[in-house]
Amino acid sequence: MIIAAADGSALGNPGPAGWAWYVDEGCWAAGGWPRATNNQGELTAVLELFRATAHLDDELLVQCDSQYVINAVTKWMPNWKRKGWRKSDGKPVLNLELLQALDAAVQGRRYRFEWVRGHAGHPANEAADERARAAALAFQQRNEVPSGPGWTGACESADAAGEPVIAADVAPGASAVSAVEAAAADRASEEATLFDFDDPAADWLTLSLELTTEEHTRLVERARAAGVTPEEFLRGLI
């Protein structure tokens, strides 16, 4: 099994942006654009990972901190395709070219996604994030982009039995998430694409939310169970 993390980064969202996938120090790739969104970076990271491993028959485990990407590929895409790549409200699906490319890239592949909490010390996720951000910074500062070695012979080694071994720099238990965290993350729905930030005029988005006392109490309890602040928990739901 190939285990790899994929992540994106945008400075300004939209702004200078980068993407990266990471297996280990000798096996990773990154790139970016002068202007793109975080979601475009996240989608491209996964797309480039599938493209880099297209010649292999191994199952691919993609560690990703973006529920948007995971749900887009595993849940929403079939309905979007049936509706002519439109959402349930009839509006065109955002990031259409990337999603169609991903749809083609996953055909015939054995793969699954694992949601990991971003910026929480997961080694592979942190490594992918650092490289995606480095690419975004390179575009911002007009420097050479650290693109990485890509998928080379260093990515594949052989064990004593001669079978291919694809290694990932993942600490034991680092990718585990609590049932509460997973449930909170899975609450994201297709309508979450409202927050794709593809509007170039919107660098920031402020939301006002009114909660009843009972709703606020439930929010606090769930956040405490997940080990985060109510604000962080709510941001994760959005």
Cα-Cα-Cα-Cα torsion 39, 104, 113, 85, nearest 10 degrees, comes to 50
Compute the distance between CA of residue 222 and CA of residue 237 in angstroms, rounded to an integer. 11
Expressed in percent and rounded to 5, the helix, strand and coil fractions of the chain are 40, 20, 40
Question: Residue-wise over 19-35: b if at least 16 C-beta within 10 A, else e?
Answer: bbbbbbeebbbbbbbee
Active-site choice (24, 48, 126, 129) = 129
Active-site choice (24, 31, 32, 42) = 42
Active-site choice (24, 48, 65, 181) = 65
Active-site choice (119, 159, 163, 214) = 119
- Report which residue type is found at 169: D
Active-site choice (8, 15, 18, 148) = 8
| Residue 42 falls in the annotated catalytic set | yes
| Residue 122 falls in the annotated catalytic set | no
- Report which residue type is found at 163: E
| Residue 7 falls in the annotated catalytic set | yes
Strand-pairing partners, residue 87, are none
Among all residues, which ones are annotated catalytic? 7-8, 42, 65, 119, 129
